[in-house]
Structures are given as structure tokens and as C-alpha cells.
């Protein structure tokens, strides 16, 4: 990675942490440290959001179970040898193994973090933590073999100027992102429970559709004179383009900002794991809808026209259009899922925090941190940013957020007692404890 890029990425991470509302520093423990380390991988490889969320889920599930089973003070399930294991060290080894197995060419990067976390322990303590952490991590990885995420899916979109309302490749696109996600096995929640969200996309043309088309045409244009400066900044603030940690990382940084600094490792691991699982499972449900209804993007709708709304062959969005169907919004699905887990954890939507943005460009060197008082207000603003960016119709945003929230509630309701590897404790063979 070039030094200038590395410096910019580190500065972006620092901005997020400095912007947090915690009294001293954002939450900092073995779970958050591995999360930040993986965020760096996402940035350096420009991993797409839905793909990156799978490995966030694996990383933090492994850490959650490792901590749960470590029994640092005898309060949790013990190992088969009945020897207490350093919980943070076990989580460190679990995180190291998950990421090293997935991104072996980055292992020196992971080795350095692991050494800083366990280097001061005795050989016996390191061995015990290693054995438990690796055992859990290998189970997590094995559980995802043949999950469908690596399968080839033969997808062909509607041809240019094809069927009205149907997804077509937008200018300069030659492939569709991750169509196999729709058939991927979820971690916890059956996506068929969420096959439809509020009736799917709007009928083209119709009164409501025409109104929403006019909205994105007016506010989302690259040359819009109707979009306010604040709305433009909002589009950039939440864009989370290639080279950033993507929108999932943005929500993890929010999580680090709102969890108290005193949060223990087990609680941190549980919340982080639940967020990863909820986002990935919600994304599967969202992709089933995306590739089920194959709704067209605003740039296609505006340039082609529909017989009622006048076409404009010169229209372009403020942001580059993602290469997958429009409905529902992936940003909103992710945001609803993350917000839903945080609402369930805190028992309230009302939480104040401040967060920064990684966005930079030739025209925008930095964006000031923003403060929020509700998770759903944040998710709603993220959704609106996609209208200002010219990427989505309002219905895709509203329904996407609703889908994410619904999946998060289902994940949280089942997560503490129902989700496990093989349905039993990995080490002892007894049911996992909450």
C-alpha cells in the first residue's frame, strides 16, 4: 500500500475515534482492535460491503464463542480440561486465525497485532488460549464451507433500452455484483421469511413512482441546483466508496462510539457478532429481492423514459451507480440491520453519539463529524443520502431499512440461545450459555 494512502486511511480511522462522544476514548479491547484491523483489509482491498460483512460476522462469532467458553473466572462454561483460559487471549487467537485463513497474504499484519495482545502471557497461558481460539475459529470456518457464497451465478440483465422498469447495466458496467448472495446460506435467519417488503418496488409509471422519480431526478443529479450544500455533503458523508471500510465499518465505528468504555469483552463480542450476522443475513434477504424483482436504477429510468416521464439522455447521478439492481437499497438494509441490533442491545433508540466520515476527493478534502441522537435517525439520513447521490428511489430506501430492522430483531431474539456451532458448546458438548 502506498504511504500516502496508508496515511490517509489512518487519518480517517483517527477522525472516527476522535469524533466519538465517549468521555476519553472510544471502546478499545481485543474485539474492537481486530475489528479495526479487518477494516484496514477492507479498505486496502476495496472489498464490497456485502462480502466484507460475511467476514465481520465470522471474525466476531469466533471471538464471541471463544470468550464465552474461556471461563476466565469460572463464570462461563469450562474447557474439557477444566482449566480457565484468558478470554481476551482466546479471542485474539480466534480473530487471528479467522483473518489469517481468509487473507493469508496479510498474515504479517495480523501477526503483529496478535503479538501485541498475547506476547506478555506465559507460554502455558498462550497455549491454552491458542488451542481454544483456533478450535472455535476452525469450527466457524468449517460451518461456512459450501454456503453458496463462492458459487457462480449465470446472470444476464435486461438489454439496453429494454423492458421498462427492469434492471440494465448502467454506463461502464459489465457485470453485476454478487448475484450468488441471493442463494447463500445465512448464518441464522431464513431469508424466505422476508421475501417481500411492503409490496416491492413501485409500478412504472404510477403517481407515486412519478413523484419519486422527479425527486431523485431533481436532487440526485450531478449538476443539481436544487440540492442544498448540506444534502450534497450528506451524499458524500455516507458514500463509503471503494477504498473505505464501507458502510458496515461505518456502523462498527458507531458501535465503538456508543458502547461504554467499561464494556466487557464478552458483551462487546456478542454485540459485534450480532451486528455482523444481522447485516449479512439481511443482505441475503435484500439480494433475494434485488435479483427477484430486478428493478431499474434511476439513471436508466431517467435516460430511457417510460412513456409518461420525459427521458433525459444527458442525466447523470452525483455518485457512481453500484452494479446491482435498485430495490431494496443495500445501504438501507445494512443500516437497518446495524441500527436494529444496537436498539435491541440498549433497549432504546435514543443514544447520542458523534461520528466522522472517510470521504475525500479532489473537491472535498474532509467532512466535519456529525452528531445524532437516534440510531434510526442515522439510518434514515443514510437512506436519504442515496437519493441525494442519485442512486435510489425513496421506496427502496424505506423498505430496505424496514427489512434490515426486521432481520435484526429476528437475529437478536435468537442469537443468545439459538445460534451456535453444531447447536452445542464447541468444547464441552453442553448447550452454550448466554
Q: Which residue has the higher pLDDT, 74 or 263?
A: 263
Q: Which residues, including other chains, have CB under 8 Å from residue 271's CB and lie 6 or more apart?
A: 255, 259, 341, 342, 345
CA-based torsion, 105, 53, 377, 209: positive or negative: positive
At residue 428, the pLDDT reads 37
At residue 205, the pLDDT reads 97
Whether 429 has a pLDDT exceeding 60, the answer reads no
At residue 11, the pLDDT reads 39
Whether 81 has a pLDDT exceeding 70, the answer reads no
Question: Of 201, 196, 174, which is closest to residue 288 (Cα–Cα)?
Answer: 196
Q: What percent of the chain has pLDDT over 70?
A: 86
Cell 429476528 maps to which residue? Answer: 410
Phi first, then psi: what are they for 22, rounded to 5°?
A: -60, 150
Tell me the three cell numbers of residue 378.
442515522
The 10s digit of each residue's pLDDT in 184-233 is: 999 999 988 887 667 899 999 999 999 999 999 999 999 999 999 999 99
Whether 419 has a pLDDT exceeding 50, the answer reads no
At residue 99, the pLDDT reads 98
Q: Which residue has the higher pLDDT, 425 or 65?
A: 65
At residue 363, the pLDDT reads 73
At residue 386, the pLDDT reads 98
Q: Residue range 240-247: average pLDDT?
A: 95
Whether 71 has a pLDDT exceeding 80, the answer reads no
Residue 177 CA to residue 155 CA, distance in Å, equals: 10
At residue 196, the pLDDT reads 64
At residue 432, the pLDDT reads 35
At residue 83, the pLDDT reads 56
Q: Residue range 112-124: average pLDDT?
A: 97
The 10s digit of each residue's pLDDT in 336-393 is: 999 999 999 999 999 999 999 999 876 777 799 999 999 999 999 999 999 999 999 9
The 10s digit of each residue's pLDDT in 317-337 is: 999 999 999 999 999 999 999
Phi first, then psi: what are they for 77, rounded to 5°?
A: -60, 140
The lowest-confidence range among 19-23, 107-111, 190-194, 256-260 is 19-23
- Give the CA distances from residue 55 to residues 147, 279, 383, in Å, rounded to whole numbers and listed in that order: 13, 11, 24
Q: Which residue has the higher pLDDT, 284 or 420?
A: 284
Residue 238 CA to residue 329 CA, distance in Å, equals: 13
Q: How confident is the model at residue 424 (pLDDT cuts 50, 70, 90)?
A: very low
Please count the other Cβ atoms lying within 10 Å of the Cβ belonging to residue 178.
Answer: 22
Cis (ω within 30 of 0) for the bond into 205? yes
Q: Which residue has the higher pLDDT, 266 or 1?
A: 266
Q: Which residues, including other chains, have CB under 8 Å from residue 277's CB and lie 6 or more apart?
A: 57, 61, 187, 188, 411, 415, 419
Q: Which residue has the higher pLDDT, 380 or 422?
A: 380
Question: CA 118, 123, 126, 128: dihedral to nearest 10 degrees?
Answer: -160
Q: How confident is the model at residue 24 (pLDDT cuts 50, 70, 90)?
A: very low
Which residues is 158 bridged to in the sheet? 168
Exposure of 394 in the CB half-sphere (CA atoms within 13 A): 12
Residue 190 CA to residue 198 CA, distance in Å, equals: 18
Cell 431474539 maps to which residue? Answer: 413
Whether 62 has a pLDDT exceeding 80, the answer reads yes
At residue 361, the pLDDT reads 78
Interhelix angle 107-118/87-102, nearest 10 degrees:
170
Whether 54 has a pLDDT exceeding 70, the answer reads yes
Helix (H, G, I), strand (E, B) or coil at 243: coil
The 10s digit of each residue's pLDDT in 138-187 is: 999 998 999 999 999 999 999 999 999 999 999 999 999 999 999 999 99
The lowest-confidence range among 194-203, 238-247, 257-266, 339-348 is 194-203
Q: Residue range 415-425: average pLDDT?
A: 47
How many residues are there in the chain?
434
Domains of the chain with CATH codes: 3-143 (no CATH), 179-418 (1.10.606.20)
Please count the other Cβ atoms lying within 10 Å of the Cβ belonging to residue 174.
Answer: 6
Amino acid at each position: 500500500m502506498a504511504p500516502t494512502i496508508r496515511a490517509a486511511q489512518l487519518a480517517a480511522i483517527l477522525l472516527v475515534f476522535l469524533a466519538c462522544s465517549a468521555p476519553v476514548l472510544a471502546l478499545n479491547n481485543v474485539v474492537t482492535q481486530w475489528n479495526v484491523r479487518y477494516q484496514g483489509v477492507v479498505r486496502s482491498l476495496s472489498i464490497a460491503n456485502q462480502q466484507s460483512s460475511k467476514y465481520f460476522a465470522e471474525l466476531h462469532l469466533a471471538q464471541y464463542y471463544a470468550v464465552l467458553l474461556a471461563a476466565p473466572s469460572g463464570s462461563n462454561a469450562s474447557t474439557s480440561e477444566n482449566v480457565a483460559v484468558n478470554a481476551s487471549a482466546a479471542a485474539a487467537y480466534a480473530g487471528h486465525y479467522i483473518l489469517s485463513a481468509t487473507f493469508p497474504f496479510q498474515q504479517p499484519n495480523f501477526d503483529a497485532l496478535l503479538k501485541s495482545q498475547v506476547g506478555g502471557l506465559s507460554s502455558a497461558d498462550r497455549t491454552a488460549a491458542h488451542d481454544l481460539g483456533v478450535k472455535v475459529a476452525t469450527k466457524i470456518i468449517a460451518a461456512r464451507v459450501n454456503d453458496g457464497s463462492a458459487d457462480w451465478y449465470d446472470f444476464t440483465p435486461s438489454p439496453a433500452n429494454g423492458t421498462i422498469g427492469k434492471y440494465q447495466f448502467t454506463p461502464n458496467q459489465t457485470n453485476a455484483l454478487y448475484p450468488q448472495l441471493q442463494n447463500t446460506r445465512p448464518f441464522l435467519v431464513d431469508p424466505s421469511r422476508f421475501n417481500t417488503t411492503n409490496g416491492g418496488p413501485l409500478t412504472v409509471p404510477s403517481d407515486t413512482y412519478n413523484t419519486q422519480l422527479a425527486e431523485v431526478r431533481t436532487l440526485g443529479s450531478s449538476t443539481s441546483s436544487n440540492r442544498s450544500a448540506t444534502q450534497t455533503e450528506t451524499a458524500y458523508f455516507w458514500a463509503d466508496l471503494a477504498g473505505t471500510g464501507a458502510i458496515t465499518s461505518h456502523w462498527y465505528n458507531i458501535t465503538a462510539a456508543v458502547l461504554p468504555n467499561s464494556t466487557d469483552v464478552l458483551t462487546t463480542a456478542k454485540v459485534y457478532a450480532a451486528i455482523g450476522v444481522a447485516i449479512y443475513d439481511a443482505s441475503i434477504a435484500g439480494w433475494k429481492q434485488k435479483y427477484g424483482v430486478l428493478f431499474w436504477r434511476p439513471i436508466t429510468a431517467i435516460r430511457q423514459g417510460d412513456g409518461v416521464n420525459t427521458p433525459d439522455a444527458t442525466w447523470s447521478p452525483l455518485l457512481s451507480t453500484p452494479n446491482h439492481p435498485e430495490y431494496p437499497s443495500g445501504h438501507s438494509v445494512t443500516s437497518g440491520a446495524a441500527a436494529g441490533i444496537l436498539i435491541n442491545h440498549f433497549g432504546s433508540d435514543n443514544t447520542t453519539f458523534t461520528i466522522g466520515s472517510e470521504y475525500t476527493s479532489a473537491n472535498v478534502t474532509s467532512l466535519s463529524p456529525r452528531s445524532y441522537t437516534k440510531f434510526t435517525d442515522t439510518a434514515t439520513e443514510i437512506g436519504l443520502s442515496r437519493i441525494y447521490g442519485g442512486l435510489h428511489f425513496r421506496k427502496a430506501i424505506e423498505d430496505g431499512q424496514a427489512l434490515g430492522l426486521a432481520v435484526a430483531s429476528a437475529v437478536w431474539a435468537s442469537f443468545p440461545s439459538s445460534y451456535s456451532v453444531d447447536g452445542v458448546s464447541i468444547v464441552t458438548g453442553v448447550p452454550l450459555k448466554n
